[in-house]
Every structure is written in C-alpha cells, then in structure tokens.
Structure 1
C-alpha cells in the first residue's frame, strides 16, 4: 500500500468546502474529461458557469452526508494574499463569459486539490433537484439510464435497507495541476478502508474515466470490485421518434461503467 505523501492530508469535506469541491468537479469535467468536452464542445465557459450553479444540490447532498473526502495540500502557495487570509477562496465571476479555461483554473485559489464525493445510499437523491443539472448536460441522464438498463442484478441483492450499508460514489476529480500524482487512487482506497471500518458492505460508483474504472474495479485486498454494467460511447445507440438510429456520445471514445466494490468478506 502506497501511503499519502506528507505534503497532503485527507479530510472529511464540510459545508465550507462545497463551492471549492463544486468548482473542481465542474472544471475537471467540462474541460478535461474524456466525455463532456467532446460531446459538448461549444460554449464551454458558459456551460461551466451554468453547471456550477445547477450542481449545488448534488454536491451539498454529498457533503451533508459526512461521507465525502478531500485531499488538501498542506504546502499550498496562495496566489492572492486575500485567499491566504481566509484559508482559500474561489474567484469565479459567473458573468464573465470572456474568461478562459486557464482563467478559471487560476481563480481556484484554495488548498483542496482532489475530491471523492459520496453519500449514504439510504438518502436517495431528489431527482427534481437534479433536473436543472440534467438540463445543462442532457447526456448526464443518458449515462445513468443506460447503465441502469444494463444492470442485471436483483435490486434486493444490493440496495440498502438501512443507514450504513451501501455508499454511493458520485464525482471523483483532481485539480488539473495535481493530476498524475496518484491522488485519486489514494483517496479511493482511503474511502474504501474508512467505509469498511464503519460497517458499510459496499460502494457503488459510475465511471467515465479509464483511470477511475481501473482503480475501483481492482481494489486492494480484501475488497473486491465488479463491473456491474458498461457501454462504449462509440457503439452506444438509441432511436429517435422516427426510428432513426442515433449515436449521441460520438465522437467521444471511452468506456462508461458502473462498479460495485464489496467491502466485507
């Protein structure tokens, strides 16, 4: 087991981190994901602002659970003195549509560098409050629906019946300048260990990243990862009202999967 370098520490995310976590999630997904910037190549800045606003409920739900984790850089060098005074700050101006991707990155002046969002499966999401996010990223709903359709399990075989049984993972993102350092894997494995120690029997995660799929489908012993359902963006098809076959995820080229990690032997 590789340990976390001393430069970093893992902490449970609190309400004070919600905007930071949301910015990391949106910036990573809208500009650097193998899926979203490919299927939505236009108006990325405007879409980033819109999804930032629309994802508040989803991120807050997971932070309020007390199950979401973050990696903080203890040696982080603040870009602005006013950020240091408050321990970090996000400077996005949601009216500035002339901003660039690098501008948004520069305006993320805080020590949170990687996130693993999660919530107890007994606390189901309020889909009505997810609709504004789906409106900005319609294929977000398609991803989950397609994975659900391909899931052959009996719901009674895995769904939680009480608190503390199944953890639902949603959003794994690392600040671009910290990517490639193995932080996602270290955070994932820490979440597995913590959840097992708390008595959870499993964690479910949907992945649109080859690296995330690799980590969660091949967890460290004694945990066991299983790919429950999957599809590839180049071959996924659906029919419109006239019966014409469409390929909504092209030209993205990535395997999308749902993974379940058994924590208790």
Structure 2
C-alpha cells in the first residue's frame, strides 16, 4: 500500500487498487477470510504483472527436502506415468523397457515440504511442515488434498526437470445437502463434499494449482460434510459481473 501511494501521477486504477487493499486489511468478523482474500488478490496482481511484462512466473520449492525411494513408497508407477505424459517424446522408460531416458527409483526425485506457485504456498500432507497448507484448488475450483510435492530431475541432454504434486480429489456426497447459504453459494464460493472421502492419488503439474480455500466440518442429521469456501472473492465477483 505504501509503495502504491508513493507512485507519482496515480491513475484511477491505482486508486481503486489501494482502496481494495485497505478494505481487505480491515478487521471484524470476516478478518480471517479477508486475510486469505488479500493473499490471493496480491498473488493475482503479481501474476498479472509478470505476464504483462513478460517475466517468468515464479515457482519456488521449500529448502527442506530429501531424496525419496519411489519403489519403497509405492510411487514409481504414478511418477513414471507423469514423466511419460510430461515429456512424451523423450523416451522415458522404467525397468524392463528399453528406450532413451531411464527413471531410476532412487536419486532422481526429491520430496519437498511445500511449493510456492503464483505467490501461494501449497504444502504436502505427508510432510510435517506442509500439513498446514495441504489443500488447494485445481482447474474449475475443484478441491484436492496435496499428499506430496516431488521435484523430478532426469539427467541427460537436455536435463528434464519438473515439479509434480500427488493430489487426492474430494468426492461428491451421496446425499446433496441443503444449507441456508446455498442461495448465495456461487457468490460466496462455497461447495459441499463428502466428509473425509478422497479419490485415489493423481500426479499433476503444480502449474495446475489455482488457489486455496477454507474448509469446515458440518454435521447434519442425514450426513456429514466438508464445506469449502474459496479465498478468492475477486474472481467470484468478476463472474457475478458477467451474469
């Protein structure tokens, strides 16, 4: 805010941005949600700025990491499939198949506690330091739990490098709940999911993460639910403007 206020010849867009930041900083009953909204808003501004000026978007891994044995952790096949899909022409292969690039079970993949993408931190559920950040949205605001953040480096010419997330998508509930806030669900960014039910792990690029959410445990007489609330009201408001 101080930096924005120090700009010479501020435009109406600059003034609007300052007002939005000030509103998000206010306290009150919605303080936690506003803080989350502010973080997402700043990340969006950062992403828009880097795209506008042709600067590469930053993706930063945690400094804390260790090599992981893919076979011992029953991860070899899912990581191998991710590599083949990511580099379909590289000829990546596993045991018993001869092509050009061999993905070894050890020595090529590091397990990280978190990754920061577009200014937002996404942590790994299987890592003590990452559990506090282990939920996020992928495309179309679909919620997932992030089990692992893996940094893959396959030597050769050229070196192949990617950051992979092992995620478990939420599941829809067998009985659709009826909540008092349903009429405002699209504006509030709320969705209901089966409590503690997750699909099988899927390997994705961390570039598919699009934001974070708050999550609540809501028991009802006919079932128990996870209710997610998007911490990105700016895009929701844009959707409402188009209605």
- Normalising by structure 2, report the TM-score: 0.25
- Greater RCO (Cα-Cα under 8 Å, separation 6 or more): 1
Larger strand percent:
2
- Normalising by structure 1, report the TM-score: 0.24
Larger radius of gyration: 2
